[in-house]
Structure 1
Amino acid sequence: MERFDAIIIGGGPGGAKAARTLAVGGKSVALVENAHWGGVCLNCGCIPTKMLLGATAPKALLRGLERQRVAKGVVGVEYEALQKRIQRYTRAASQTLAKGLEDAGVTLFNGRGVCADPHSVRVLGPDGSETAFLSATAIILACGSRSASFPGLAPDHDAILDSTDLLAIPAVPESLIIVGAGAIGLEMADFFSAMGCTVTLVEAAPQLAPTEDADIARELQKLLGKAGRVCLTGVKASSLLTREGKAVLRLEDGRELTADKALVAVGRAPNTSGLDVDKAGCALDKRGFVTVDERLRASPTVYAIGDVNGKTLLAHAAEHQGAYVARQILGAAEGAYEPGPVPSCIYGALEVMRVGKTAKEAQAEGDGVAVSRALLTGNAIAQAGGDASGFVKVVWQKNRMVGIAALGHGVSHLVTAAQLLLLGHYSDEKLHQFMFAHPTLDEALAVAIQAPREPAA
């Protein structure tokens, strides 16, 4: 048995952040990872996706300038070369992360971590045999999540793919059905559409981007329709199967759609199967996520962070939680976990940014909710980029800013300024303390804050 101050299961953003913080703080740390150092985000999620979108970004810029009749030309993307570049980058980044952790004093274990009791973890090899038995004062579960599926809508990894499959596909298909229009589905649709693929988005919810307000979703669907994307919302899928090498999606209304490939992007499921959390005194909710208290404790000796606790399925949320738990163990943090206004983005030629509450969330908490908006058409930088579609929106709850959202080209770049504005409570009366550079897209935030407020619909 090897003894440590802390054992962390999962080497993704949350686990790696917690491990490094604890090691720098003088604790002995074991970090167990079954697949890739850096987790899904670095290896087959956020980072590869953004590198795909980065390669096609010049196409959107050129398209906007062509509409203004100020530029013309062709941007070609070498897909095979792009895939090789992504593989080289993610492999090197994963290796660099592992080396940095080791240099910080973290002991790395390759294998699947399984809870043995409230203080112990078994490390299993590929054949299921035990390769190490670890003991510690505290255990942190940072196991992450995987692509979810529903009965009748499961990937067969042939014509029906999950997001990991699609990221590694050897060639761009001529046609693609995407089931699910959340962040993953929208970003994949953006890239493959830009590569010349015919894309159809199918979403069971009444709108695209179901976690956002309806006004954002309506404008997004209108703009995507103008770009040639087929978006079907409020329709449920009854089955998805491979037939004669093609993906065939049957909808509950009887329609049948066929494409070369289909992506199932219906959310994420926690990696808790076989984790034996009950042996560590932990419990799972009905969806399989580890239940935690206000301090992210799953039991007196076990914490759960990131996707595996189901609170906020974002890489930076996992990192933030990992740092908090590490400070708890080091005795440097007290009280309940407070994430503050959580930032999120959907990337692509058209982007969605939000920090804090939606108007719908604020309305669910009571009356006194208003919104103010600024159209991007009035912003010089948006105009210079060739596409000034979209808007910035501020959500007010009893005269206090509680959320900022935006839709448009490049609005993900507003996310940090928006978070700082919310954290600093820079209402219109206090806005003079915050200096905006000119000309920038950021100025649209100031215009939205100072715009007339209307009751939230």
Structure 2
Amino acid sequence: MSHFDIIVIGAGPGGYAAALLASQRRKTVALIERQHLGGTCLNWGCIPTKLYLGATAHLEGLHAQSRLRLCRGSVQMDMGALKKRKNAFVAATHKAMGCCLEKHGVALVQGQASLIDKNTVRVASDAEQTLSFTTLIIATGSSTNWFAGLEPDHARILDSTDLLDLDEAPASLAVIGAGAIGLEMAEFWNRMGTAIHVIEAAPRIAPAEDEEIAQTLSGMLKRKKWNIVTGKRVAGLVNEGESVLVRLEDGTQIRVEKALVAVGRKPNTPGLGLDNAGVAMTGAGWVTTDDFLRTTPNIYAIGDVNGRTLLAHAAEHQGRYAVLHALGETAAPYTPGPIPGCIYGSIEVMRAGHTAAELAAQGKTVTVSRASLGANPISQAHGQAQGLVKVAWVDGVVHGVTAVGHGASHLVTLAEIMVRDRWTAHTAHEHIFAHPTLDEALRDALIAPQEEK
């Protein structure tokens, strides 16, 4: 039986980063993966979606200019070629990741991991292995979830993986769930000519975002002729052979060619044998962790599987912390600071820090300031000048920044710095913002008059 200083289960962004860092600290490391390197992000999520959105961004740009009567004509995308490029990119990244692991001396073990006890793991594959460890990092991520009556049949009722693998655009698509995944998928297929119906049980789309931002986004998408239904639950989906019947609880029916179920995620913990090592779980199987991301004295859980923040960059950040804590290089509790997040597309949303509503719920006195993207020359240049940047303040210090509009995701890193470094309105005057840039909208929002929430 081989022994390793650190074993990582799951080769997504968090597990991969943890394994590399541990190897760079000259520890013996094994990385166990049952499917593909890169996890959901590379194979079925972030990266394929962005490749599709990036490849079709010019379509939206040309449409914006045609609305200004500056151009005319059409461009046809080759879905087969785009899908081929996506598959080639993912395969090349698999290869590059494998080479990097080999270069750093990480033992890549393919198979299904299952804990035997608090220091031993079995890996089921063609040749079963038993490995022992000093420290274990669980980084198994999450997968698509659904409610009763919304089960994908992978023919017309699809999950996000199915939708990314289509060979041609459906005439119409119902997107059940208006979070980042649903909205980004809808954006791409709308560019390809699909009529979009978005159904969200919450009172607004993008329900995790600031209410004003979400309402602005909704209005912008409706102008693109999306049918957006909020505050109503889907009672069931019925594959009728040539179409899908979407039945809402209030009796409303919507008939579409295909439906996407994007109502949430569930942790990938079944089959891991976590009970054998005393690992506690809550809810649907989310791994319980302490202030140091530990679930037992020598076992950590990072990324989606601990249910804290279901974002690839959060998993990577947690993975590095877990290694440093396990090796005694930090004794401080895990405090990530403001975690940035984005919804991508021609109309984008970004957020760093807290929304005004979240701060008010904490009992804080909140003020807000805004800047319209209509006054920004870069937004105007792209013919997409709708949207705004919004700053949430507490006692004259920035506690949150959010935005909606063309290119908003490009503002997210500077926004995260503003929140982390506790910028004031005066701080904006200490920096030179290049002109013309989208970044100027951040400055304009910082120095705009503040009003109570």
Normalised to the residue count of structure 1, the TM-score between the two structures is 0.97
TM-fit CA distance, 1:170: 1.8
Match of residue 63 from structure 1: 63
Match of residue 335 from structure 1: 332
CA distance in 2, matches of 1:340, 1:273: 31
SS of residue paired to 2:101: helix
Percent sequence identity is: 48
SS of residue paired to 1:53: helix
- After superposition, what is the alpha-carbon deviation per residue over 1:377-415, rounded to whole angstroms, capped at 9, x for unaligned? 111111111101100000112322111000001110001
- After superposition, what is the alpha-carbon deviation per residue over 1:228-273, rounded to whole angstroms, capped at 9, x for unaligned? 1110000101111212242221100001112111100001111011
CA distance in 2, matches of 1:164, 1:203: 20
TM-fit CA distance, 1:130: 6.4
Match of residue 303 from structure 1: 300
List gaps (5 residues or longer) in structure 1.
none
Q: Which amino acid in 2 is paired with 1:287?
A: A
1:356 to 322, 346, 353: 353
SS of residue paired to 1:137: strand
Q: Does 1:270 align with 2:246?
A: no
SS of residue paired to 1:404: strand
| 1:33-432 alignment, distance < 5 Å | 33-125=33-125, 131-432=128-429
CA distance in 2, matches of 1:91, 1:2: 30
Q: Give RMSD over aligned pairs.
A: 1.1
SS of residue paired to 2:370: strand
Q: Point out 4+ residue stretches in structure 1 off by more than 6 angstroms.
A: none
- After superposition, what is the alpha-carbon deviation per residue over 1:323-370, rounded to whole angstroms, capped at 9, x for unaligned? 111111222122110111100000001000001111121111013111
- After superposition, what is the alpha-carbon deviation per residue over 1:2-43, rounded to whole angstroms, capped at 9, x for unaligned? 100011000000000000000001110000001110111011
Q: Which amino acid in 1 is paired with 2:278?
A: G
- After superposition, what is the alpha-carbon deviation per residue over 1:252-309, rounded to whole angstroms, capped at 9, x for unaligned? 0001112111100001111011111111111110131000000000111100000000
8 Å contact from structure 1 (residues 62, 73) kept in 2: no
- After superposition, what is the alpha-carbon deviation per residue over 1:97-121, rounded to whole angstroms, capped at 9, x for unaligned? 1110111110000111111111111
How many pairs does the alignment contain?
453
TM-fit CA distance, 1:455: 1.3
Match of residue 13 from structure 2: 13
CA distance in 1, matches of 2:106, 2:291: 27
Normalised to the residue count of structure 2, the TM-score between the two structures is 0.98
TM-fit CA distance, 1:446: 0.5
CA distance in 1, matches of 2:73, 2:168: 24
8 Å contact from structure 1 (residues 370, 453) kept in 2: yes
Which shows bigger deviation, 339-348 or 396-405? 396-405
8 Å contact from structure 1 (residues 43, 94) kept in 2: no
CA distance in 1, matches of 2:230, 2:190: 18
TM-fit CA distance, 1:178: 0.6
TM-fit CA distance, 1:71: 2.5
